[in-house]
Amino acid sequence: MIKITKFGGSSVANAIQFQKVKNIISADESRRFVVISAAGKAGEDKNKITDLLYLCRAHVDYHVDYHGIFGMIKERFLRIKKELGLSVEIEDELNELEDKLPGISTDELVSRGEYFTSKMMADYLGFPFVDAKDVIRFNYDGSVDFEATGNALNVELLKNDRFVLPGFYGSLPDGTIKVLSRGGSDITGSILAKCLHADMYENWTDVSGFMMADPRIIENPCHIDRITYAELRELSYMGASVLHEDAVFPVKEANIPINVLNTNKPEDPGTIILDHIEPSEKDHRITGIAGRKGFAAFTLYKQHMVEDVSFLSKCIDVFAKYGVSVEHMPTGIDSASMVVKEKDVASRIYDIIADLREAVNPDDIKYVNNISIVACVGRNMATRVGTSGRLFTALGEEHVNVKLIIQAFDEINILVGVATEDFEKAIKAIYGNFVRSVK
Ligand code: ASP
């Protein structure tokens, strides 16, 4: 059995967190391949090392002295080292980094958070350290070169049957360091799981998996025990962010389950993410509710619109010209609404309207903002009749006006657009009807 065990920044923020990681690793012999983020926030430690490293870069760019900020980074690492009594040599490397800092690339600089945190963790666990620049390989376009990564990992496996690997970075074909997007250590864990054909990818963080709704809106929401990748994508897009959204792709292809667990409460059940889950009468009809504020809609009216074969594509081209993605597009016979993120269009509403007029000559255009979208997600909705009926009854009973309705044929997700002032009320109404009543 091979488990990839990835620990996020809060799990490695200080010596106490390091001890929790060690307990988790020692509790299970299959936890042999460990991926580590840069020390993040926890308790007294209010800064993420990665943020401080980016801040050093900004200081250099604006010709401001960076040694004060760098001193905070050094102090943090050396404190962890001292408190755990580690022997790994990092002082010289830290001093060297401080001296050469203005001359190195941003990617190399910010990758050092993971590098130093992992070196210390390897020493603490008594595991070999493997540098991500030697095994995680990218193509020049930034995509992962799975073949080269797999080969490099196989070479490593001939030498070691366990190791600690820093997350977040790897190297380009010419050897230069390249980082993933923020939160990217989740993706490193997933790449490793795929390349080592792991049985399980454990992602240890500071929450016990996923909840059915945002605890800031629903007090003490039910825990989600199991969720499919597709459901998770829908919920994450709508704001339920625990895992980096690109982390599911490598493991999904290889059909490896992800278990999201809590380093601070290792005994809590996590949430298992799987490719496919057989429908069961025992499961809730819905898996989760999430939502996002900040949408706007342009609605175009034109007689005989439905007969104009290029009407919609011409509209989308206008938004594309401004780099704006049309996220949803409900249509009537003679009208169509283009739903977009308000922040993407806020400064260019009149230009977009003028271009739409020129492109399709509509009879009228209306712009509405302050829309929120609530997503009700569940694999079991397709197999049980009456879900949407209950959903709209629940909203109606709470006097929530539904402005927009979207459901695709796979029936995994029903999206409703409401005025932003009704956002929380809508989530409470749906949760109250499908899960349990809320005050
Ligand atoms: N340290 C990086 C960040 O803060 C990557 C990670 O933690 O996953 O974004």
- CB-based contacts of 71, cutoff 8 Å, min separation 6: none
pLDDT (tens digit, 9 = 90+) per residue, 75-117?
999 999 999 999 999 999 999 999 999 999 999 999 999 999 9
The answer to whether 415 and 407 have CB atoms below 8 angstroms apart is: yes
The kind and range of the H/E element at 99 are helix 91-100
Ligand 1 contacts CB of residue 189 (under 6 A) = no
pLDDT above 80 for 191: yes
- For residue 424, report the distance from its CA to the centre of ligand 1, in Å: 30
pLDDT at 280: 76
Alpha carbons within 13 A on the beta-carbon side of 242: 28
Closest Cα partner for 166 from 140, 139, 189? 189
At 438, the pLDDT band (50, 70, 90 cuts) reads low
Ligand 1 contacts CB of residue 50 (under 6 A) = yes
Ligand 1 contacts CB of residue 38 (under 6 A) = yes
> 3-class SS at 288?
strand
> 3-class SS at 300?
strand
Average pLDDT, integer, range 301-313: 92
Average pLDDT, integer, range 191-213: 95
Backbone phi, psi, residue 138, to 5°: -110, 155
Ligand 1 contacts CB of residue 417 (under 6 A) = no
Identify the residue whose tokens are 């990818």.
Answer: 201
β strands within 113-237, DSSP E = 163-166, 169-171, 177-179, 200-205, 210-211, 223-224, 226-228
- For residue 415, report the distance from its CA to the centre of ligand 1, in Å: 31
pLDDT at 313: 96
3-state secondary structure 365-402: EEEEEEEEEEEEECCCCCCCCCHHHHHHHHHHHCCCCE
Q: Look at phi and psi of residue 239 and say left if phi exceeds 0, alpha if psi is from -120 to 50, else beta.
A: left
The answer to whether 161 and 32 have CB atoms below 8 angstroms apart is: yes
pLDDT at 383: 80
pLDDT at 391: 94
> For residue 84, what are the CA distances in angstroms to 81, 125, 207?
5, 11, 25
Q: What share of the chain is helix, strand, coil (3-state, %, to 5)?
A: 45, 25, 35
- For residue 315, report the distance from its CA to the centre of ligand 1, in Å: 38
Of the given ranges (47-51, 232-236, 360-364), which has the lowest mean pLDDT? 232-236
pLDDT above 70 for 41: yes
CA distance 354 to 185: 44
pLDDT above 60 for 406: yes
Report the percent of the chain where pLDDT is more than 70: 99
Report the percent of the chain where pLDDT is more than 90: 84
pLDDT at 355: 98
pLDDT at 115: 98
- For residue 356, report the distance from its CA to the centre of ligand 1, in Å: 41
- For residue 85, report the distance from its CA to the centre of ligand 1, in Å: 25
pLDDT (tens digit, 9 = 90+) per residue, 120-134?
999 999 999 999 999
pLDDT above 80 for 241: no
Number of residues assigned to the chain:
439
At 428, the pLDDT band (50, 70, 90 cuts) reads very high
The answer to whether 299 and 337 have CB atoms below 8 angstroms apart is: yes
Ligand 1 contacts CB of residue 48 (under 6 A) = yes
3-state secondary structure 2-40: CEEEEECHHHHCCHHHHHHHHHHHHCCCCEEEEEECCCC
Average pLDDT score, the chain = 94
pLDDT (tens digit, 9 = 90+) per residue, 136-183?
999 999 999 999 999 999 999 999 999 999 999 999 999 999 999 999
Ligand 1 contacts CB of residue 166 (under 6 A) = no
Ligand 1 contacts CB of residue 183 (under 6 A) = yes
- For residue 112, report the distance from its CA to the centre of ligand 1, in Å: 11
Ligand 1 contacts CB of residue 250 (under 6 A) = no
Ligand 1 contacts CB of residue 271 (under 6 A) = no
- Nearest-atom index, ligand 1, CA of 185: 8
At 308, the pLDDT band (50, 70, 90 cuts) reads confident
pTM, rounded to two decimals: 0.87
pLDDT (tens digit, 9 = 90+) per residue, 317-353?
999 999 999 999 999 999 999 999 999 999 999 999 9
Pocket test for ligand 1, best of 57, 107, 114, 182 (most atoms within 8 A of CB): 182
Q: Look at phi and psi of residue 346 and say left if phi exceeds 0, alpha if psi is from -120 to 50, else beta.
A: alpha
pLDDT at 307: 86
At 420, the pLDDT band (50, 70, 90 cuts) reads very high
At 240, the pLDDT band (50, 70, 90 cuts) reads low
CA distance 136 to 250: 13
pLDDT at 142: 94
- For residue 285, report the distance from its CA to the centre of ligand 1, in Å: 35
Ligand 1 contacts CB of residue 182 (under 6 A) = yes
Name the closest-CA residue to atom 8, ligand 1. Answer: 183
